[in-house]
Amino acid sequence: MVSLSSYLLLGAFLFAAGLACILIRRNMIQVLMGVELIFNAAALNFVAFSHFTPSSLPQLALSGQVVALFIIVLAASEACVALALVLSVFRVFGTVHIDQVGELRG
């Protein structure tokens, strides 16, 4: 059987990829994609731990999946609000390039 560690390793890889996406890319929408990757990494860890629950605590078995569902809902609302922000930034500045939206920089 596949062990818990391999799922956690994949979660860590997804997290690192999302972090790299946020730090490297200069387009706001691609930064959002990185945030979605990080959400998925966290949810994958929760579901993996809910599958590998000790059998002495059966009431915990589904809690990880509940939290993962909450994460999906939060990601949906986050994507909604963030895209609205990106659209209004595009309307004001005419670009979605992060470095060019620096009005408040001293």
Partner 1 sequence: MADIFYNLAFTIFATMTAVAAIFVVCLKNLLHAAVALFFCLSGVAALYILLGADFLGVAQLLIYAGGILVLLIFGIFLTARIYDSNIEERKNKYSWVMGVLTSVTIFGVISMVLSRTQWPLKATTYSPSTKGLGELFLTKYLLPFELISVLLLFAMIGSVILVRKELKEK
Q: Which residues inside 48-67 make contact with partner 1, applying CB under 8 A?
A: 48, 50-55, 61-63, 65-66
Contact call for residue 79 and partner 1 (CB under 8 A): yes
Residues 6+ apart with CB under 8 A from 20: 34
1 binds partner 1 (CB under 8 A): yes
75 counts as binding partner 1 under rule CB under 8 A:
yes
Which residue, 33 or 104, has its beta carbon nearer to partner 1? Answer: 33
- Residue 35 interacting with partner 1 (CB under 8 A): no
Residues binding partner 1: number (CB under 8 A): 73
34 binds partner 1 (CB under 8 A): yes
Residues in 14-33 at the binding interface with partner 1, rule: CB under 8 A: 14-30, 32-33
Could you write out the DSSP letters of every residue in the chain? ---HHHHHHHHHHHHHHHHHHHHH--BHHHHHHHHHHHHHHHHHHHHHHHHT--TT-GGGTTHHHHHHHHHHHHHHHHHHHHHHHHHHHHHHHS--BGGG--TT--
Q: Least Å distance between CB 48 and partner 1?
A: 6
